[in-house]
Amino acid sequence: MIENRVRFRHLQTFLEVARQKSVVKAAGILNVSQPAVTKTIRELEDALGVAVIERDGRGIRITRSGEIFMQHAGAAITALRHGIDSVTNPSMEAGPPIRIGALPTVSVHIMPLAMNLFLKEDTGATIKIVTGENAVLLEQLRLGDLDLVVGRLAAPEKMTGFFFEHLYSEQVVFVVRAGHPLLQGDQNVFTKLGDYPVLVPTRESVIRPVVDRFFIANGVASIPTKIETVSDSFGRAFLLQSDAIWIISHGVVSEDIRAGTLVRLPADTGDTRGAVGLTMRTDKPPSAAFSILLRTIREASTQKGG
């Protein structure tokens, strides 16, 4: 039987290769040789009767069969981790840690209040929160390294095997430091972008396509001085000591705007509005603590008004 030929090491190796998109990097993480990783992958493919990875130029890519198998392999590894946590930590009545991936906008705008509300529930559950680009977080969710991603709705082709629950809508804004030259008089922001450094989301971020389409719609062909970043701490610090313009989701800078340290430029960005919500796997039933966490995130988004 096939299931008798597939071992834990096959799943672990395949998922690491998929995560790293590299046999060499996976070998380093797993602390084994590159030939050992290649052999393990071949054993898995022989057992399944299909190829799970293939060469793509100098790198590799996961095949369609590999993507389908990856969802189930990730769920199996996650279930095993939860079982180990339950046995090795019997005092934790709420079960294994709940791992949340949150986009920077959500980490600043929603999660602090959500965590305060969750802690009042006294579930005893441990929460792990990581931030990063949307594509990376969704990949970790697919592989079973995360239980939940809170952020913008991804493109349809990225949502296979996931369920999305809408919380609120959010738009991109242009912000500068208080006292910026563009705040003097009635100036056209789009014609002045070339005069200042502009911070934009990275190409891997979920809002980058939105920003690119917005530039095209407003006749902005290129930006001479452009810095790509998803770091809110860098963006905030850089703006306060320069004349840079920051193009970012409103939630990241809403408190700064309210405090008056950053000011929103008069650019109509209504077309950049997009859905923010909860992305979860469809094959994982929620625990009691996880259900409570979802409720507190919903409450926090309602109280913060999106």
Phi, psi of 44, deg, nearest 5: -65, -45
Give the model's pLDDT for residue 173: 95
Q: Are 11 and 73 in contact (CB under 8 A)?
A: yes
- Tell me which residues of the chain have a pLDDT lower than 70: 1-4, 79, 81-95, 305-306
- Its pTM stands at 0.66
Give the model's pLDDT for residue 86: 58
Give the model's pLDDT for residue 303: 85
| DSSP per-residue string spanning 191-258 | HHGGGS-EEE--TTSTTHHHHHHHHHHTT----SSEEE---HHHHHHHHHTS--EEEEEHHHHHHHHH
DSSP 154: P
CA-to-CA distance for 106 and 101, rounded, in angstroms?
Answer: 10
Catalogue all structural domains in the chain, each as residue range(s) with its CATH number: 2-71 (1.10.10.10), 89-169+275-303 (3.40.190.10), 172-272 (3.40.190.10)
What element of type H or E holds 120? helix 111-120
Give the model's pLDDT for residue 182: 93
CA-to-CA distance for 174 and 160, rounded, in angstroms?
Answer: 33
Residue 150 half-sphere exposure toward CB, CA atoms < 13 A: 29
Strands 53-56 and 59-62: antiparallel
Give the model's pLDDT for residue 89: 55
Give the model's pLDDT for residue 95: 61
* Tokens (6 digits) for 132: 């990063």
CA-to-CA distance for 195 and 86, rounded, in angstroms?
Answer: 58
Give the model's pLDDT for residue 92: 46
